[in-house]
Amino acid sequence: MRISKRTAGLTASITLAVSAKAKAMKAAGVDVVGFGAGEPDFDTPENIKVAAVKAINSGFTKYTPATGMPELKAAVAEKFKKQNGLTYDPAQVVIACGGKHALFGAMMALLDTGDEVIIPTPYWVSYPDMATVCEARSVFVEGRETNGFKITPADLKAALTPRTKIVILNYPSNPTGAAYTVAELEALADVIVKHPRAIVFSDEIYEQLLYDDAEFKSFAALRPELMDRTLTFNAVSKTYSMTGWRIGYVAGPADIMKAIGNLQSHSTSNPSSMCQKAALEAIIGDQSSVEMMRQEFDKRRLRMVELLNAMPGVTCMKPAGAFYCFPNVAGAIAKVCPDAEGNTRSAAFCDKILEDIHVAIVPGCGFGNDDCVRLSFATSMANIEKGLARLDEYLRSK
Ligand SMILES: Cc1ncc(COP(=O)(O)O)c(C=O)c1O
């Protein structure tokens, strides 16, 4: 076989696959309503675009240091101090080509063959595949729907072993929108501090997208001893509608950051220089667009939850953050795909929905929960009304 064992077991990201199929149908003239997107539908704010153009026009088009330009690392360190109460030296920050790249580099830097990575379910699609590439074993801890898709300290404790190297936490969550309260985080922190080998990956990429009275606290800020045991991940992608610019970052203990930097120096080198300038403007410039987008998402969230809960065979928890609903559609799957078996029933359901009524939603099996599907509300209110009316009518006809 020509393909390495390391990559042969990988599957293409299911979220990207759904988007690609919907795009191809659209290109062929089909009136598809898409709920697959994992990115804001707003344009990147003008001040950020201007900063990038200025960078290009002024010749800022060459290599920067592999782990990012000093001004951006300093701005990220300052952001962590002001917004998250975390004190990092700029040397403890690595700028990467998106949050995904930062997570991947960190796993490569930490994992040896046979190490275990604890991944709460439902999980963001890429975590298990990243662990696979690093020849590590994913250990799934179920975030039960009855517990708002969150894991409990008891379940976490039961999953930790001497081989646990990484514990991944992502809140607000993709795909469920679940956000832990500070008390819940403290209870998880109490379990983790007793396992000194385990390093926490706190994926805080949706930090700014919280609704109602949900509170945010960075995991590393919970206990002083966690500072040396936590990597904090973030990116400009979701917060500033900059998914295509590919700038993310990670901060943590200096030795680990050095290893990630070494790896980056031999793989991507620096993230695109002009995009770093744009990210700098995003982080230090006018922040009003962040709140504007959040408020718009909030309106759509409430409407989507209302419409989903009115459908037969569908129940939907109100997401506390991010821009996804993750309804339980087990009842609807049983009606639409009565013959579907195994643990990809949600995929059969989503395929049928796309084919029959041209509505693109993402199967929960890609996130480790086959009773659910994911719908992004990072799309216009008009699309939400139109697509969900189609879905409602379809499910009622079954
Ligand atoms: C939970 C989570 N982490 C990380 C990422 C990676 O984001 P990006 O690489 O676009 O910065 C995403 C994107 O969908 C995500 O949902």
Residue 227 is predicted with a pLDDT of 96
Q: Which two tokens stand for residue 73?
A: 């690392």
248 C-alpha to center of ligand 1: Å? 9
**Cβ proximity of 307 and 392 under 8 Å:** yes
Same domain, 278 and 293: no
Residue 56 is assigned to a structural domain of this protein: no
Under the banding of pLDDT at 50, 70 and 90, the label for residue 33 is very high
Report whether residue 19 contacts ligand 1, using a CB cutoff of 6 Å. Answer: no
Q: Which of 284, 306, 340 is the last residue of a domain?
A: 284
**Nearest alpha-carbon partner for 352 in 394, 385, 387:** 394
- 208-225 b/e with 16+ CB inside 10 Å = b? bbbbeebebbbbbbbbee
**CATH code where residue 183 lies:** 3.40.640.10
168 C-alpha to center of ligand 1: Å? 13
Does the pLDDT of residue 343 top 90, yes or no? no
Mean pLDDT calculated for residue range 263-278: 98
Q: Which of 284, 308, 342 is the last residue of a domain?
A: 284
Residue 50 is assigned to a structural domain of this protein: no
Same domain, 146 and 35: no
Q: 116-121 and 373-376 as β-strands: parallel, antiparallel, unpaired?
A: unpaired
Residue 212 is assigned to a structural domain of this protein: yes
Cα–Cα distance, 242 to 53 (Å, whole number): 15
Report whether residue 370 contacts ligand 1, using a CB cutoff of 6 Å. Answer: no
Residue 9 is predicted with a pLDDT of 83
Counting beta carbons within 10 angstroms of the beta carbon of residue 358, is it exposed (0 to 12), middle (13 to 18) or buried (19 or more)?
middle
Range scoring the smallest mean pLDDT among 176-185, 238-247, 345-354: 345-354
Same domain, 102 and 182: yes
Same domain, 280 and 310: no
**Nearest alpha-carbon partner for 109 in 267, 261, 268:** 261
- Quick: pLDDT tens for 287-312: 999 999 999 999 999 999 999 999 99
12 C-alpha to center of ligand 1: Å? 15
Counting beta carbons within 10 angstroms of the beta carbon of residue 229, is it exposed (0 to 12), middle (13 to 18) or buried (19 or more)?
buried
**CATH code where residue 311 lies:** 3.90.1150.10
Full residue range of the structural domain in which residue 206 is found: 62-284
Same domain, 153 and 236: yes
**Nearest alpha-carbon partner for 22 in 266, 367, 362:** 362
Cα–Cα distance, 220 to 275 (Å, whole number): 27
Q: Tell me the three state secondary structure of residue 170.
A: strand
- Ligand 1 atom with minimal separation from the 39 CA: 14
Q: Which two tokens stand for residue 260?
A: 């990630």
Residue 383 is assigned to a structural domain of this protein: yes
Same domain, 93 and 223: yes
- Quick: pLDDT tens for 224-260: 999 999 999 999 999 999 999 999 999 999 999 999 9
As separate numbers, helices (DSSP H) first and strands (DSSP E) second, the chain gives 14, 12
Residue 337 is assigned to a structural domain of this protein: yes
Q: Which two tokens stand for residue 214?
A: 């949900």
Residue 96 is assigned to a structural domain of this protein: yes
Report whether residue 243 contacts ligand 1, using a CB cutoff of 6 Å. Answer: yes
Cα–Cα distance, 249 to 86 (Å, whole number): 14
Work out the number of other CB atoms within 10 angstroms of the CB of residue 296.
18
Residue 11 is predicted with a pLDDT of 79
Q: 230-235 and 199-203 as β-strands: parallel, antiparallel, unpaired?
A: parallel
Report whether residue 235 contacts ligand 1, using a CB cutoff of 6 Å. Answer: yes
Mean pLDDT calculated for residue range 380-392: 98
Q: Which of 284, 299, 327 is the last residue of a domain?
A: 284
Residue 49 is assigned to a structural domain of this protein: no
Same domain, 273 and 337: no
- Quick: pLDDT tens for 184-216: 999 999 999 999 999 999 999 999 999 999 999
Same domain, 227 and 338: no
Same domain, 302 and 354: yes
Report whether residue 124 contacts ligand 1, using a CB cutoff of 6 Å. Answer: yes
**Nearest alpha-carbon partner for 97 in 67, 130, 62:** 67
Residue 12 is predicted with a pLDDT of 75
Separation in Å, CA 9 to CA 44, 132, 133, 139, 341: 36, 8, 9, 17, 22
Residue 314 is assigned to a structural domain of this protein: yes
- Ligand 1 atom with minimal separation from the 203 CA: 3
Residue 10 is predicted with a pLDDT of 87
Q: Tell me the three state secondary structure of residue 359.
A: strand
* Count of domains observed in the chain: 2
